[in-house]
Amino acid sequence: MILEMKVPSPGESIKEVEIATWLVKDGDYVEKDQAIAEVDSDKATLELPAEASGIITLKAEEGDAVAVGAVVCLIDTDAAKPSGSAPVAEAKPVTEAQKAEVKAEAPKAAPAPTSYAANTPSPAARKILDEKNIQPTDIVGTGKDGRITKDDAVNAVPSMGTPTGGNRGSNRTKLSMLRRKVAERLVAAKNETAMLTTFNEVNMTPINIIRNEYKDAFKAKHGGLGLGYMSFFTKAVTRALQLYPDVNSMIDGTDKISYDFCDISVAVSGPKGLMVPVVRSAENLTFRGVEAEIKRLAIRARDGQITVDDMTGGTFTISNGGVFGSMLSTPIINPPQSGILGMHNIIERPIAVNGKVEIHPMMYVALSYDHRIIDGRESVGFLVAVKEALENPLELLMNGDAKKALEL
C-alpha cells in the first residue's frame, strides 16, 4: 500500500510550512515515527515523523513552501526492509579485446585568436562604466569578439577594494521561514509601535550574597537544578507588572487588553536562532519552579523540540544579552507585547555608597516599551521597581526568609 504523508497543522494560524531539511534520502527505508524531515513554520522548526515503515519517495525539495495538508512524500508500506548489507556485484573479467580497445583521443581545439575588440566597451557601455568608476579590463565582455555591451556594463559590480591575498568569496542562502518571520516582526515592531527605551543600573551584590550562600544547598535539594539570575529577574518582573499593570497590557485595534496573569517570554538561543518560549503564570511559581521551567524550555530549544504552543502567548519578555557579553543595548519589543526587559553582563565598577567609593558587580538594565499604551511614569516606575526588588531580594522577593523561598 502506498501511504501519502501530508503536512500536519502546527497551529491554527499557520497555513504553510517550508521543508528546511530532509533527514532521509529518496528511496531510503524508514521506520515508523522516525524523523524524516525538519519543517519551518513562521513560529518554530518542527520534526516530521514517518507515519509508517517502508520505502520513502520524496515529493518536495528542500526550501519548498508547502501548504498544510499537502502531500510531501509517499511511503510504500509493502516494501520489505533491506538486509544489513547488499551483495557486492561480481567484477566481470576484462577480455583481451576490451584491453585492446582504445578510445581515440579527441583533437584539442586550437585557442581562438584574441580580437582587437576584446574588452572594448561600446559608447553606451563606456558611459555607464565611467559612472560606476569601473575599468573595462575588470569585466569580461559577452558581445561579438569579446566586446563589452551595455548589458555587461549595467550588470557589472564595482570591486570591493584591492584583494590582499587569500581566498575571497561569498555565499547566498535562502532565509528560513522562521528567520523571515522574525525579521518581519522586528521591522514591524520598529515601524508600527512608538518604541522608547529607558535605562537603569542594578547593584548585583545582594543577589550574589544569596546565591553564594545557598546555591550548593539549592542544587543538592532540587536534583541538580542551578540557582541562576533568571529566577530573581523573573520574580522581580512579575512583582513590577502587578504594580504597573499597563506594562502587562497590549493594544488590539482601538482597545487595550490587560492581563491579570504574567506569562513571561524568555529569549533563548537555539540551533535555529533565537526562540522565545513562554513561562506560564510565572507570578505563581517559586524560585525552584522558575528555574525548572526555564531549564526545560532551554533544553527543548537546544534539541530543536520547541513547539508552537511553547511560544504562543506571552505578556512580557525578558532578554539576557549578557550571556553573550553585551554591556548595553536597546531590546526590540516582541509584538503584540508592549514591553521587554533587557539584561546585560555584570561588570565590577566603582560606585558611591554612603559617601564612599566602593567596587560592586553592576548590571545595566533596559526597558523598551510602547509609548502608545505605556506612559513615561509607568515605564520608569516599572524599571525602578525591578531595580528595587533586585537590590533588596530578601525583603521584596523572599518575604525575609531565603530558606523558605528557596524551599530548602
Among all residues, which ones are annotated catalytic? 371, 375
Q: Enumerate residues 6+ apart whose C-beta is below 8 A from 13.
A: none
Tell me if 53 sits within 8 A of 30, measured CB to CB: yes
Tell me if 44 sits within 8 A of 275, measured CB to CB: yes
Local structure of 63: helix, strand or coil = coil
> What is the C-alpha separation between 307 and 323, in angstroms, rounded?
24
Dihedral class, residue 399 (left if φ above 0, else alpha if ψ from -120 to 50, else beta): left
> What is the C-alpha separation between 183 and 335, in angstroms, rounded?
12
- The CA distances from residue 205 to 100, 290, 322, 392, in Å, are 87, 21, 17, 10
- Dig out the grid coordinates for 194 from the structure: 512608538
Backbone angles phi, psi at 149, to 5 degrees: -90, 175
* Amino acid identity, position 159: S
Tell me if 32 sits within 8 A of 52, measured CB to CB: yes
Tell me if 148 sits within 8 A of 130, measured CB to CB: no
User: HEC string of 254-317?
Assistant: CEEEECCCCCEEECEEECCEEECCEECCHHHCCHHHHHHHHHHHHHHHHCCCCCHHHHCCCCEE
Alpha helices in 33-149 (DSSP H): 96-100, 123-132
Q: Enumerate residues 6+ apart whose C-beta is below 8 A from 262.
A: 237, 238, 241, 242, 248, 281, 282, 283, 315, 316
Tell me if 261 sits within 8 A of 281, measured CB to CB: yes
